[in-house]
Amino acid sequence: MTTPYQQQAPQQAPQPYAPQGVASYVSPIPVRRATLGDALASEWTKIRSVRSTMWTLGVMIVLVLGIGLLSSVAVSSSGADLGETPVLSLGFFGVLLGAIPVITLGVMTVASEYGTGMIRTTLTACPSRSRVLTAKAIVFFVVAFVITLVTTALVGLLQTAMLDGVTPTGEDWLRATLGVSLYIATLGLLSLAVGSLIRHSAGAITIMIGVVLLPLVLAMFMFSETLADLQQALFEYSIPNQLGVFYDASVTSSGPSGWDPLWILAGVTAAALGGAFLALEKRDV
Amino acid sequence: MGLHTMIEAVGLTKRYGAKTAVYNLSFQVRPGTVTGFLGPNGSGKSTTMRMILGLDEPTSGHVTIGGHPFRKLTNAPRQVGALLDAKAVHGGRSARSHLMSLAQLSGIPAQRVDEVLGVVGLQDVAKRRSKGFSLGMGQRLGIAAALLGDPQVLLFDEPINGLDPEGIHWVRNLMKTLAAEGRTVFVSSHLMSEMAVTADHLIVIGRGQLLADMSVKDFISANSADFARVRTPQTEPQQREKLSSVLTEAGGHVMTEQDGAMRVTGLALPRISDLAHEADVRLWELSPHQASLEEAYMRMTQGAVDYRSTADQLAGFQQPMQQPGGYAEPAAPQQGWYAPPPPQPGGQPPFAGAPLPGGPAPAPGYAAPAQAPAPGHNPYAAPAAPPAAPPAPAAPPAAAQPPAAAPAPDLTKSDSDSPEDAR
């Protein structure tokens, strides 16, 4: 407790004793109120200081770039004619698979703190629980968004350079990069909210994989005529199909179009995140 | 001054479903001293600590630090530091990154991280992932996190677990130094011996309830009774019987220790010697002793140590065993390895029918009175005694005095306890 801080608080050093003789300790380290900015810095340190982050994001980049390029190579070498199919839509499969590592990372951002018990240390250092969750959500969202944006843009550029099909319009570009990135990052945010509610990594990841795949799988097995409407809705609103909307590769002509999928997912995520905030404030940790 | 860093719990109660972890706990922890928080495993220490830190919400009652609930404190991490669980870190993160994230979260300058790493002696492994840390290193990392904010109030939950002797010594001195600086230091432990040398004040709980709240000095003087250990020739049990009755007549209390020695209270050593001489009993040992604090603590908490499984399980097995069966006394050890059953008026269904021959009167001499009632009740108990305890002199069938307590088969630790502890 010696030198470094004393210049900042010299007046506190000479009077360690209180009038009654009960010494009351005063720290020489300047005290300042912690803010959301501090929490953001902390979460940024946390997310980049574990290997699992690097692994999941690495896998995600490899999937988006690798599968995007492979499909372009396959098309160009086979000399198949793309016809009306938009060139950018070849990035779809890579992004769909790349969503899984993003989901994993989103869940882990919160749930790993519960798994290790770190959450108690964190909430002792910052009793404002909502500030912690807000910081986590912001840091994770920005990381997921930036990485997806860079990789989808890169894939799109390479694809348009390798293949000659219909030249994508500016709107096409915007949806296939910005739209897809916002959608994937929001999906990750939903995972983060679910991870915060479930507080268990494996459980939350399983739920999120189910959310992504189950509607599509269920719809595939609905052969009955009476269920046709439901089947149609499950197809149209399943997450893979909503993602396809950004590439104009939707399986149906009705259902969500344009930027609709983003608003739908944003609504669901907002509800889940709201629940996560409430639960975090109320529950014991 | 000073009181603004006091921890104060009032009527603190926490229930998890049907289980009450902490019940109606009220205490104060004052600055400038090390306050030990003592209790057996599962007695509610950690739950109480979590409630102090606002991690768990009390079912009723409240706990404040300097008059405010933890979650309402401004700059909480600069006022309160805590080590809750040494393993509560992400193992994939290096010690330095872990502390750095906590420092950033509380707005603490980064240079403080390297300072505390030096204080706990982890500077050389700061870049290593904490997954590879030993328990002792984990404790040091947890202590570093607690010290990070240089707070006035410090909570440590079992800080010496896993530390080597050098580390234990260091923690002791650290606690004392922190308290001497005027901070409030609240340290939990289940080791009385540790608290006796570290703490100035003790708060003892058992089964979530307050058992004692007093200074260590008072605790020692109130609980460390002197006694004499008396040993008669093992080869002549009747001498022992004789001396025992003589000493009891003279106003002494005689208890039997595990190895057959007698523990006598209420009589001075010369008087014991005189009485033995008059009774013509030879002594192999006559030595002065002082009950350790550990024993005092055990006497205090034994009633609170969990023994709740006993009654029901016994009841379940009792019926068939009333019939001729080959079991000898599997039940007795369930009382726990040292604890005599707390006096339970009318409790203990399986034993209730027994007249409790060893009840209050004849046996202020039982190491484990838990077993005493059994022979009167369970016909298969008696045979178990002699083989288990060859030196036990009392002949089982003889007597108003029930058979000498057989060391229960699974008594893992020899210990003697006064039955007159009124818990």
> Per the CB < 8 Å rule, is B152 touching A123?
no
Per-residue pLDDT of chain A (285 residues; tens, 9 = 90+): 444 444 443 343 333 333 344 557 888 888 888 999 999 999 999 999 999 999 999 999 999 999 999 998 998 888 777 777 788 888 999 999 999 999 999 999 999 999 999 999 999 999 999 999 999 999 999 999 999 999 999 999 999 998 877 888 899 999 999 999 999 999 999 999 999 999 999 999 999 999 999 999 999 888 888 888 899 899 889 999 999 999 987 666 778 888 999 999 999 999 999 999 999 999 998
Same structural domain, B188 and B125 = yes
Distance from CA of B77 to the nearest CA of A (A): 5
CATH number at residue B235: 3.30.70.100
Closest CA to A265 of A47, A53, A106: A106
Cα-only R_g, chain A:
24
CA dist., res. B232 & res. B391, Å (int): 12
- Asked if pLDDT for residue B188 goes beyond 60, the answer is yes
**Residue B101 is assigned to a structural domain of this protein:** yes
Same structural domain, B120 and B176 = yes
**Chain B, window 161-200: residues with a beta carbon less than 8 angstroms from a chain A beta carbon:** 180-183
**Residue B286, strand partner residues:** B230
Residue of chain A nearest B145, judged by CA positions: A121
Confidence (pLDDT) at B3 = 56
Distance from CA of A101 to the nearest CA of B (A): 18
Tell me the Ramachandran region of residue B158: left when phi exceeds 0, alpha when psi lies from -120 to 50, beta otherwise. Answer: left
Summarize the confidence of residues B146-175 as an average pLDDT.
94
Q: Which two tokens stand for residue B9?
A: 């719990």
Which range has the worst mean pLDDT, A228-237, B287-296, B412-421?
B412-421
Burial B7-24, CB ≥16 within 10 A → b, else e: bbbeebbbeeeeebbbbe
Distance from CA of B372 to the nearest CA of A (A): 45
* Mean pLDDT estimate for chain B: 76
**Chain A, window 50-89: residues with a beta carbon less than 8 angstroms from a chain B beta carbon:** 50-52
Confidence (pLDDT) at B224 = 64
- Asked if pLDDT for residue B247 goes beyond 50, the answer is yes
**Residue B318 is assigned to a structural domain of this protein:** no
Distance from CA of B58 to the nearest CA of A (A): 9
Confidence (pLDDT) at B373 = 40
Residue of chain B nearest A132, judged by CA positions: B105
Interface size, chain A vs chain B, as Cβ–Cβ contacts under 8 Å: 157
- Asked if pLDDT for residue B51 goes beyond 80, the answer is yes
**Rounded to 5 degrees, what are φ and ψ at B63?**
-135, 135
- Count other Cβ atoms within 10 Å, centred on residue A106: 32
Type of residue numbered A177: T
Same structural domain, B201 and B185 = yes
> Per the CB < 8 Å rule, is A46 touching B93?
yes
Q: Interior CA angle at A260 toward A256 and A263, to 5°?
A: 135
pLDDT tens-digit profile of B370-387? Answer: 333 434 444 444 444 344
Distance from CA of B34 to the nearest CA of A (A): 14
**Chain B, window 23-82: residues with a beta carbon less than 8 angstroms from a chain A beta carbon:** 31-32, 50, 53-57, 70-71, 73-78, 80, 82
- Asked if pLDDT for residue B136 goes beyond 60, the answer is yes
Structural domain spans, chain A: 34-282
Q: Give me the domain span that covers residue B275.
A: 224-291
Same structural domain, B228 and B168 = no
> Per the CB < 8 Å rule, is B105 touching A122?
yes
**Residue B325 is assigned to a structural domain of this protein:** no
Which segment, A236-245, B111-120, B304-313, is predicted with the most confidence on average? B111-120
**Residue B311 is assigned to a structural domain of this protein:** no
Distance from CA of B83 to the nearest CA of A (A): 8
Comparing CB atoms, the residue among A29, A35, A50 nearest residue B92 is A50
> Per the CB < 8 Å rule, is A113 touching B145?
no
**Residue B60 is assigned to a structural domain of this protein:** yes
Type of residue numbered A20: Q
Same structural domain, B264 and B181 = no
Contacts of B181 in chain A (CB under 8 A): 16, 23, 25
Same structural domain, B357 and B418 = yes
**Rounded to 5 degrees, what are φ and ψ at A23?**
-70, 135
Distance from CA of A253 to the nearest CA of B (A): 47
Same structural domain, B184 and B240 = no
Confidence (pLDDT) at A274 = 98
Same structural domain, B277 and B301 = no
Confidence (pLDDT) at A4 = 46
Confidence (pLDDT) at B313 = 54
> Per the CB < 8 Å rule, is B5 touching A120?
no
Q: Please indicate if any CB of chain B lies within 8 Å of the CB of A185.
A: no
Q: Please indicate if any CB of chain A lies within 8 Å of the CB of B145.
A: yes
The three-class DSSP label of residue B110 is coil
Q: Please indicate if any CB of chain B lies within 8 Å of the CB of A36.
A: no
Confidence (pLDDT) at B356 = 37
Q: Which two tokens stand for residue B170?
A: 């260091």
Same structural domain, B165 and B176 = yes
The three-class DSSP label of residue B227 is strand
**Helix ranges (DSSP H) in A163-238:** 170-174, 180-198, 201-220, 228-237
Q: Please indicate if any CB of chain B lies within 8 Å of the CB of A15.
A: no
> Per the CB < 8 Å rule, is A127 touching B71?
yes
CA dist., res. B282 & res. B273, Å (int): 9
Same structural domain, B299 and B275 = no
Same structural domain, B100 and B153 = yes
Same structural domain, B259 and B340 = no
Residue B36: how many CA atoms within 13 Å on its side-chain side? Answer: 27
Which segment, A81-95, B21-35, B259-273, B355-369, is predicted with the most confidence on average? B21-35
CATH number at residue B158: 3.40.50.300
Sign (positive/negative) of CA torsion A194, A196, A198, A202? positive
Distance from CA of B205 to the nearest CA of A (A): 22
**Chain B, window 306-335: residues with a beta carbon less than 8 angstroms from a chain A beta carbon:** none
**Residue B299 is assigned to a structural domain of this protein:** yes
Quote the ipTM score: 0.88
Q: Please indicate if any CB of chain B lies within 8 Å of the CB of A2.
A: no
B213-220 long-range CB contacts below 8 Å, 24 or more apart?
B213/B27, B216/B36, B219/B293, B219/B296, B220/B196, B220/B293, B220/B296
| Chosen domain end from B200, B222, B244 | B222
Q: Please indicate if any CB of chain B lies within 8 Å of the CB of A39.
A: yes
Question: Domain total for chain B?
Answer: 3
Q: Which two tokens stand for residue B4?
A: 């603004």
Comparing CB atoms, the residue among B53, B74, B100 nearest residue A124 is B53
Comparing CB atoms, the residue among A29, A41, A113 nearest residue B150 is A29
